[in-house]
Structure 1
Amino acid sequence: MNIIKKPSWYIDENEITSKELFDNRRIFLKLGAASLIAGSSIVEALAKENIPVPNLDYIKDKNLDNLDLNTYEQITNYNNFYEFTTSKERVAKMAHTLNTDGWKIFVDGLVEKPLELDFDDLIKKFTLEERIYRFRCVEGWSMVVPWIGIRLKDFIKYVKPLSKAKYIQFETMLDEDMFPDQGRGVFSTISYPYIEGLRMDEAINDLTILAVGLYGSSMPKQNGAPIRLIVPWKYGFKSIKSIANISFTEEEPLNSWQKENPREYGFYANVNPNVDHPRWSQKRERVLGKFFKQKTLMFNGYSNEVAHLYKGMDLTKFI
């Protein structure tokens, strides 16, 4: 008899969390009993903890791995977003300049026809899913986030790439008024627009999503509103934010950090505790909110789902 083991992210389609019937108990657990005192409404309790009232309909993640979520406050107040600043603690304060109204996503390259997609219309075409994922930064810190998004494979099917498309390239919005560091010319931290890419088999893996929210609400600006990539087995810089352009290519894209410092960064950026960064170890990580470091897992704990993608590759060479 064949026993089919459901992947850690598997969820039944009838398990929908509605904004009208919000019952995400994980958030209530994060609030704590003190916040839910007699006479306080759920909305008031959420407001006291700076958690937005949920506004997305989505399929819940069962969290079969029993991951301990970071709080909304932690997730939204410690961010890398160089378009604003190199200070992780200041990003949230500076991100107000990001205007997502009328956001468009342009799709070109090796597709049947170029597309201009309205973000608000786009997400209505897909089923939103919650994915509770580990998120590991190349700098050695990590967190656990309840993302809300759509499977990238579903998006790819919708835009109809040509068979010779081997890679998919993403670009962040280029707008100096929204992103202060983009307007600093030669003094900018990195070259813009920010670019990332995936092999097509990585892109259509079931773990890969285009995230549009977290903790049941629309994506905060400092976390990459309105839409960002999430590839949980790779270091965080692969999960590009505020996506405005998507191109399908036959050649491997040159991503931003690979362009800036090819000695330290490669195309793949898979989480690998056995391959150190040239300037620090990757064997352990600091989880936000915890004092002691913990061991880093191969592929960030998602080996069962993705190790086959790299069979036969020298992972000390293809970094």
Structure 2
Amino acid sequence: MRIKIPKSWQLTANDVTDESVYRQRRTLLKNMGFLGAGALMSTPAHSLDWFSKSAKKTFITEPLTYLPQSDKQQILTPESKVISHNNFYEFGASKSDPVNNAQSFQTNPWQLTISGQVENKIILDYDDLTRLFALEERIYRLRCVEAWSMVIPWVGFQLSTLLAKAKPLSSAKYVAFETLEDPEQMPGQASRRLGGGINYPYVEGLRIDEAENPLTLMAVGLYGKTLPPQNGAPIRLVVPWKYGFKSIKSIVGITLLDKQPPTTWNQLAANEYGFYANVNPGVDHPRWSQASERRITTGGLLARNRIDTQMFNGYGEQVAHLYKGMDLRANY
């Protein structure tokens, strides 16, 4: 008899996203007319054959959960709080600014380009991203940490899938990301006061081995729905073992490079925000301790619901090997 032993970060069926949430997504897709969608049409700059109708048969059709077994508070954060309590400085520095200022944000037309040191340049437009949501059957339930932490059911696919189709050259060592720059739609970009003094566009980066880790996601939805604008529509990065500012939103460019790219918060305050930004309770932010975090669950946003911060946000089994031999105090 074959016995299947689950990974430490995979939970049982009792822990997955509530079925009603998942079914909302299926209803939404039916209403949008995308259920049963076939192969995407290709243009010379597209390489989307891996989302063909035949490939869809190999997709996982049940929600997945990727939470550390050691996490004692595996409570799904209410959707109302996830979509109303955000850091998205393009729409303002207050946590409530994004939901208030982003509702007229237009994501169609859209273009996401994967370029740089690759064999195949890839360009995805709005229709491609919408079809990716329709074809993607995975829901990832992940812990995410900023100054607070949430447990969010992301709908997405592994970034490694996209990079593999672009065929990185052997010289590619890093992956750089860029957010849309559109001051007319994004008041934080038009005003340094509202936008936290950031020089836009917002940029981020990962080492290529971090980008290819199975936990590194390109999210196109949450709670079974397409991403709201305040959460990074139409497509964003999710890197659950790093602090939230690494998970760049509303991405228009992915570039593979041979050198470490600049990142926005490191440029703004290098003594506070390093390139790696791994969740590490042993390295304090210069202005506060990172030994504990405020978990947002069903209580008020200001509730004193603090828990101990876990190294790599609890995903050490999956990612600690990426940093073997590194001084994580110097490489913060």
CA distance in 1, matches of 2:327, 2:118: 32
Normalising by structure 2, we get a TM-score of 0.79
Amino acid at match of 1:295: D
Distance apart, 1:121 and its partner CA: 1.7
| CA contact 1:54–1:215 (8 Å) conserved in 2 | no
Deviations 1:83-128 (Å, cap 9, x if unpaired)?
0100102210111232111211012211114332214325646644
CA distance in 2, matches of 1:85, 1:243: 18
Aligned to 1:129: 138
Pairing 1:302–2:329 present: no
Aligned to 1:173: 180
| CA contact 2:187–2:194 (8 Å) conserved in 1 | no
Change (3 A) 1:187 1:143: closer
Distance apart, 1:241 and its partner CA: 0.2
| CA contact 2:129–2:234 (8 Å) conserved in 1 | no
**Which of 282, 290, 295 is matched with 1:287 structurally?**
295
Aligned to 2:236: 228
DSSP-derived class of the 2:29 partner? coil
| CA contact 2:129–2:220 (8 Å) conserved in 1 | no
Deviations 1:152-187 (Å, cap 9, x if unpaired)?
010111122212100000000011122112123698
Change (3 A) 1:128 1:119: farther
| CA contact 1:149–1:213 (8 Å) conserved in 2 | yes
Pairing 1:25–2:16 present: no
Deviations 1:257-287 (Å, cap 9, x if unpaired)?
0011111111000000000000000000111
CA distance in 2, matches of 1:223, 1:308: 30
Aligned to 1:203: 211
Moved more, 90-99 or 241-250: 90-99
Output aligned runs, 1:181-196, within 5 Å.
181-184=188-191, 188=195, 189-196=197-204
Aligned to 2:56: none
Aligned to 1:110: 117
Aligned to 1:216: 224
DSSP-derived class of the 2:80 partner? helix
CA distance in 2, matches of 1:149, 1:11: 20
| CA contact 1:11–1:61 (8 Å) conserved in 2 | no
CA distance in 2, matches of 1:123, 1:197: 25
Pairing 1:100–2:107 present: yes
Amino acid at match of 1:177: E
| CA contact 2:129–2:235 (8 Å) conserved in 1 | no
Which stretches in structure 1 are left out of the alignment for 5+ residues?
18-22, 29-41, 44-50
Moved more, 124-133 or 194-203: 124-133
Number of aligned residue pairs = 288
CA distance in 1, matches of 2:261, 2:126: 24
Amino acid at match of 2:230: Q
CA distance in 2, matches of 1:98, 1:11: 38
CA distance in 1, matches of 2:122, 2:65: 35
Change (3 A) 1:90 1:183: closer
Change (3 A) 1:307 1:88: same
DSSP-derived class of the 2:320 partner? helix
DSSP-derived class of the 1:190 partner? coil
DSSP-derived class of the 2:215 partner? coil
DSSP-derived class of the 1:197 partner? strand
Change (3 A) 1:178 1:53: farther
| CA contact 1:112–1:162 (8 Å) conserved in 2 | yes
Moved more, 221-230 or 119-128: 119-128
Pairing 1:275–2:271 present: no
Which stretches in structure 2 are left out of the alignment for 5+ residues?
36-60
CA distance in 1, matches of 2:175, 2:127: 22
Q: How large is the RMSD of aligned CA atoms in angstroms?
A: 3.0
DSSP-derived class of the 1:97 partner? coil
Aligned to 1:248: 256
Q: What is the aligned-residue identity percentage?
A: 44
Moved more, 225-234 or 178-187: 178-187
Amino acid at match of 2:148: W
DSSP-derived class of the 1:265 partner? coil
| CA contact 2:93–2:194 (8 Å) conserved in 1 | no
CA distance in 2, matches of 1:129, 1:163: 30
| CA contact 1:55–1:218 (8 Å) conserved in 2 | no
**Which of 160, 164, 167 is matched with 1:153 structurally?**
160
| CA contact 1:11–1:59 (8 Å) conserved in 2 | no
